[in-house]
Amino acid sequence: MSCDGREVITLKLKKLRSFKSLDRFAKEILASRPADGIRVAVCTDTGCRACDSVKVYEAFNREIAKERLTNVEIKATGCHGFCEKGALVVIHPREILYTQVKPGDVPEIVAKTLKKGQLVERLLFLDPETGARIELEGEVPYYTRQMRLILGDNTRIDPTDIRDYVALDGYQALRRALERERPGEIIRTITRSGLRGRGGGGFPTGIKWETARKARGARRFVICNADEGDPGAFMDRSICEGNPHSVLEGMIIGAYAVGAHEGFIYVRNEYPLAVQALTTALAQARQCALLGDNILGSGFSFDISISRGGGAFVCGESTALMASLEGRPGEPRAKYIHTVEKGLWEQPTVLNNVETWANVPKILLGGLDWYTKIGTGDVRTNPWGGSKGTKIFSLVGKVRNTGLVEVPMGMTLREIIFDIGGGVGKGKKFKAVQTGGPSGGVLPESLLDLPVDFDALTEAGSMMGSGGMIIMDEDTCMVDVARYFIDFLKDESCGKCLPCREGLRALLEILNRITEGEGRKGDIRLLEEISEGIAATSLCALGGSAPNPVLTTIRYFRDEYMAHIRDKRCPAGVCKALLHYAVIPENCTGCHACFKACPVSCITGRAKEIHRIDAAKCITCGACYDACAFGAIAR
């Protein structure tokens, strides 16, 4: 099994032309595994790859061949979620977790753990609270509070081998749907489960499917939105690369439910590995007749093709995505007539996010009673009445444990950020959490006890969005954050409508002035006024939600704006034009650290002498400030 290859992986697979043949296939796979079998899961997702996990994988293969361990199988898997501690290795069936594994560690792991069942202590996770080493993956604090319904399977699956998925009840939900249920029943189940769109919109999936099924059109389409444009979010990428079949199975069930025979997965251009993983999965599913003509002998035919984006955030918006699929520039259109009625090629179209599709097989297999117990609210009479199931978040930024986190809806921000994420670290203080990407907003410390679901964060001015959760500390300037997001949106705006195109330019201009020390009285009110205009009159949700970062930073960090505007000061020390670095002579020990850190050599001074910064050459990068251990640099 290659984990790097640019080619599609081919296996010898038989077409399954009956429901029972799927069961037999699963039995065969399980029977083929030795009773004393050990499976080593090496995470080869992009994050761990950057920690040489591919070399770890190759080292394992070499070692077990050398030692002739025939009962050991090495698997290259997708993301395990604990990205901070990569490269990650999990050893099944004991579920031992080894963190920060280097290629050089592999011979020891093979000799001690795989051959003798002993632990390599130094590679076990060290709990910062207790100082103890933890053996089992399931007992590591990062994971214990999570509920990894969707991501959990990643450590058991080689995404280039459909057999791993089948061995975990893969395609059983599809089998049940095709064998025993009518489309209407499936839709009712999904509606009653309370499943809502995980891409950020939170629209009840069952209602979307029902509307599409009833809509009139010669062709019907289902689309998977894998555009994942929110900076800081990589949940969908990890599902596509780690467990692509979960998405395919969901789409096939959905297609059956709404009567579609053609499907598309639209993957953003910046995710070539996801495209590859999905392409391999599609090919293998077709080989097994789980996709294509006459699926499992049921008479239902459906196939999927993959489309790559061209580098446009706006193509995450449904109508822009469809324009792109049709071979046009990604310009959105008004949604007065919904895409479920007239979507791709003016036909009824169901578009759902990657994570939404991945939830579908789990719901059908696990049942309504089980699924509706997870999450918040009551969806028995109203699918909008709660947020059911789990949500995957990408917990990143100034947080100790960065990575992917999957929790039941309703867990509070505090629990996610501090109990799972381990808080801010490096002696810094939490300042804000940004959720929902460029359409969302920031929330301050006072709101950390809000539960995270579709509705609670919206009232506070932000939104859960697709799951990006970016932690910011005292060194983050909130005005700069607003400026950053507006700058991003201005580049990504399609430019068709006046308010978004010109309004974002105006907002950026004002925010630039403020961060450059030229803020004026009345600027905040002007920002709010332009924001109202853009939000109310833009053609699509990019413009419609663009002001959120600005409005929430003003709402919760107004004094920071005032410091910039009135006092020409940046309290967080970020806005270069408002900074002035100088050495504090009384504190300077002449340790020379600042001199070494300075990229433009604007600091003079010899060892043990008081150093001096030449303000004319200084580019206010702040490297000296960070390097000084004696508090001798002022800004």
Burial 544-582 (b: 16+ CB within 10 A, else e): bbbbbbbbbbbbbbeebbebbbeeeebbbbbbbebbebe
Q: How far apart are CA 503 and CA 509, in angstroms?
A: 10
Q: Closest distance between another protein and the C-beta of residue 345, in Å?
A: 9
Q: To which residue do tokens 């107004």 refer?
A: 558
| Of 307 and 589, CB closest to another protein | 307
| Of 113 and 402, CB closest to another protein | 402
CA-based end-to-end distance of the chain: 54
Q: Closest distance between another protein and the C-beta of residue 12, in Å?
A: 26
| Of 232 and 605, CB closest to another protein | 232
Q: Closest distance between another protein and the C-beta of residue 88, in Å?
A: 11
Q: What contacts 208, CB < 8 A, 6 or more positions away?
A: 197, 340, 350, 352
Q: How far apart are CA 140 and CA 136, in angstroms?
A: 7
Q: How far apart are CA 67 and CA 106, in angstroms?
A: 12
Length of the chain: 635
- Find out whether 255 and 214 touch, Cβ atoms under 8 Å: no
Q: Closest distance between another protein and the C-beta of residue 624, in Å?
A: 12
Q: Closest distance between another protein and the C-beta of residue 259, in Å?
A: 22
| Of 250 and 544, CB closest to another protein | 544
At 19, the amino acid letter reads F
| Of 27 and 525, CB closest to another protein | 525
Q: Closest distance between another protein and the C-beta of residue 64, in Å?
A: 27
Beta strands in 370-440 (DSSP E): 375-377, 386-388, 390-397, 403-408, 430-435
Q: How far apart are CA 47 and CA 557, in angstroms?
A: 33
**Residue 343 three-state SS:** coil
Q: Closest distance between another protein and the C-beta of residue 402, in Å?
A: 4
Q: Closest distance between another protein and the C-beta of residue 198, in Å?
A: 16
| Of 505 and 606, CB closest to another protein | 505
Q: Closest distance between another protein and the C-beta of residue 79, in Å?
A: 9
Name the burial class of residue 615, with classes exposed (0-12), middle (13-18) and buried (19+) by CB atoms within 10 angstroms of its CB. Answer: exposed
| Of 73 and 492, CB closest to another protein | 492
Cα 582 off chain centre by: 41
Q: What is the DSSP string of 15-31?
A: ---SHHHHHHHHHHHHH
Question: Could you tell me the sign of the dihedral formed by the alpha carbons of 477, 482, 483, 488, in that order?
Answer: positive
Q: Closest distance between another protein and the C-beta of residue 472, in Å?
A: 6
- Find out whether 206 and 188 touch, Cβ atoms under 8 Å: yes
| Of 46 and 390, CB closest to another protein | 46
| Of 77 and 193, CB closest to another protein | 77
Burial 207-217 (b: 16+ CB within 10 A, else e): bbbbbbbebeb
- Find out whether 199 and 356 touch, Cβ atoms under 8 Å: yes
- Find out whether 23 and 67 touch, Cβ atoms under 8 Å: no
Q: Closest distance between another protein and the C-beta of residue 234, in Å?
A: 4
Q: Closest distance between another protein and the C-beta of residue 121, in Å?
A: 25
| Of 177 and 494, CB closest to another protein | 494
Beta strands in 25-139 (DSSP E): 38-43, 72-77, 89-92, 96-98, 125-126, 133-134
Runs of H (alpha helix) within 289-353: 318-325
**Residue 265 three-state SS:** strand
| Of 293 and 326, CB closest to another protein | 326
Q: Closest distance between another protein and the C-beta of residue 176, in Å?
A: 33
* Pick from 248, 237, 256: nearest CA to 284: 248
**Residue 450 three-state SS:** coil
| Of 403 and 410, CB closest to another protein | 403
| Of 276 and 359, CB closest to another protein | 276
